[in-house]
Amino acid sequence: MDINTKKLKKNAFRVTKERGLAASRVRVPGGRMEAKYLADIQNIAETYGNGTVHLTIRQGFEIPGIPYEKMPQVNQLLQPIIEGLGINQEIEGEGYSASGTRNVMACVGNSICPYGCYDTTAFARKMEKAIFPNDLHFKVCFTGCSNDCAKVRMHDFGIIGMTIPQFDSNRCVSCGACVKACTKKSVSALTSVNYRPKRDEVRCIGCGECVLACPNMAWTRSQKKYYKLTIFGRTGKKNPRMGQDWIKWIDEESILKIVQNTYDYVKEYIDPNAPGGKEHIGYIVDRTGFEEFKKWALKDVTLPECAEIVSPVYWNGIKYS
C-alpha cells in the first residue's frame, strides 16, 4: 500500500516494525480521564488493533496493530475520546494533529493528594489549550508540590506547586509539630522562638509540610497559588541534563505567557536544518545565550512582587576526561 508516512505520523499514528501496520497514539492532557473512555480504547484495540494497549511514558495510550487502510475508521472511533479528553483538534472526525509538542503531563495534584498545592490537571488542560497543536518540540510537566513525583526537571518547562504558609498565632498550641516536620521532611525553614514557630522566608520552599503537620490548623495554605518554574531539562542522545530552577513564587498567568513567548523565540532562532525541524530548546539557548532567551521569554510578563529570579542560569552537562 502506498502510504505517506509523514502524514500518518502527523495524524497521531506511529509507523511500526510490522509492514502495513500502524499504532494509534492517544494522549491524555494532564494524565486524567473518565473511566468510560477505557472501553472505547479497548474496542479500538480489539476491533482494529492486535488486542493490546501500551501505556506510554507521557501519560497516553498506544494501540498497535492497526492496518493503514483502517486508520479513517479508527479516527471516527477516536472522536468521542478526543472530545471527552479536551484534545485540541483541527478537523472533526479526522483524528488530531500529533505535533512536535509532547503531551502535557501532570501528577494527580491536590484533588487527590494531600501534599498537592494546586489542581495540576486543571492547569495542564489550560496549557493544552494555549500551546496545541504545534510542530515545535516542547515538553511541559506539572507537579503538585516539591516532592516532584512527576519528575518535572526532565522537561523543558517544569511547574512545581508552592504555597506561602499562613500562620494564625491564636490557633497555635506550641506543640512544635510543624518545626519537627519541616526539619525532618523539608528544608528546616521553621525554628522555635519562645515556643512559637518562626518561618525563614528565604529558606522556605513552599512545600506545605507545616500545614499538614499542624494538629490545630494554625498553618494554612495561601489562597493565591504560586509555583516554581524549572527550565530546559532533557534526556536523549546528546548531553542529557537536569532542568534548572529559574523563577520561584511565580503565578499561573506568567507561566502561560513565558511558555507562549518561548514558542516565538524558538521560531526566530531554530536551526532550519535540524532533523524534522525539532531542535531541542536547550540547544538553541546554548547557541544564542541565556540572556537572549530571557529577553524573549519575559516580554510583556508581569511577575508577582514576591517572585524571585535566578540569574544567570548555568547548566553542567556531561564532561568526560
- The answer as to whether 96 is a domain residue is no
Query: Which pairing describes strands 105-106 and 140-143: parallel, antiparallel, or unpaired?
Result: parallel
- The answer as to whether 26 is a domain residue is yes
Poorest-pLDDT segment among 188-202, 220-234, 280-294: 280-294
pLDDT band, very low/low/confident/very high, at 170 (cuts 50, 70, 90): very high
- The answer as to whether 140 is a domain residue is yes
Last residue of a domain, one of 197, 217, 237: 217
Domain that holds residue 42: 5-85
Write out the three cell numbers for 248.
Answer: 520561584
- The answer as to whether 244 is a domain residue is yes
What are the angstrom distances between the C-alpha of 229 and each of 146, 152, 159? 11, 9, 5
> Are 32 and 139 within one domain?
no
Query: What is the domain-level CATH number for residue 9?
Result: 3.30.70.3340
Cell 514576591, located at residue: 306
- The answer as to whether 15 is a domain residue is yes
Write out the three cell numbers for 5.
Answer: 508516512
Cell 509507523, located at residue: 15
pLDDT band, very low/low/confident/very high, at 8 (cuts 50, 70, 90): confident
| Distance, C-alpha 117 to centroid of its chain | 15
Q: Going edge to edge, which strands form the sheet with 244-250?
A: 105-106, 140-143, 157-162, 226-231, 244-250, 308-309
> Are 51 and 178 within one domain?
no
> Are 34 and 180 within one domain?
no
- The answer as to whether 291 is a domain residue is yes
pLDDT tens readout for residues 140-167: 999 999 999 999 999 999 999 999 999 9
Closest CA to 159 of 117, 199, 189: 117
> Are 249 and 304 within one domain?
yes
3-state secondary structure 298-312: CCCCCCCCCCEECCC
> Are 138 and 244 within one domain?
yes
> Are 111 and 193 within one domain?
no
* 170 phi, psi to nearest 5 deg: -70, -20
Last residue of a domain, one of 217, 239, 257: 217
> Are 9 and 145 within one domain?
no
Query: What is the domain-level CATH number for residue 281?
Result: 3.30.413.10
pLDDT recorded at residue 311: 84
Residue of higher predicted confidence among 320 and 304: 304
Q: Is the pTM of this model over 0.75?
A: yes
Sign for the CA dihedral angle at 229, 241, 27, 35 comes to negative
> Are 76 and 45 within one domain?
yes
> Are 256 and 177 within one domain?
no
pLDDT recorded at residue 15: 87
- The answer as to whether 321 is a domain residue is no
- The answer as to whether 319 is a domain residue is no
Cell 505520523, located at residue: 9
Query: What is the domain-level CATH number for residue 184?
Result: 3.30.70.20
pLDDT tens readout for residues 17-26: 999 999 999 9
Provide Rg for the chain, Cα atoms: 22
> Are 158 and 234 within one domain?
yes
pLDDT band, very low/low/confident/very high, at 94 (cuts 50, 70, 90): confident
Closest CA to 188 of 209, 166, 216, 212: 209
Peptide bond into 72 cis (omega under 30): no
Domain count across the chain: 3
> Are 250 and 279 within one domain?
yes
User: Is residue 118 scored above 80 in pLDDT?
Assistant: yes
> Are 155 and 251 within one domain?
yes
- DSSP structural state of residue 234: B
3-state secondary structure 209-231: HHHHHCCCCCEECCCCCEEEEEE
Residue 165 · residue 220 · CB < 8 Å: yes
Residue 45 · residue 24 · CB < 8 Å: no
Q: Where are the beta strands (DSSP E) in 90-181?
A: 105-106, 140-143, 157-162, 166-167
CA gap 36, 28 in Å, rounded: 14
* 41 phi, psi to nearest 5 deg: -65, -40
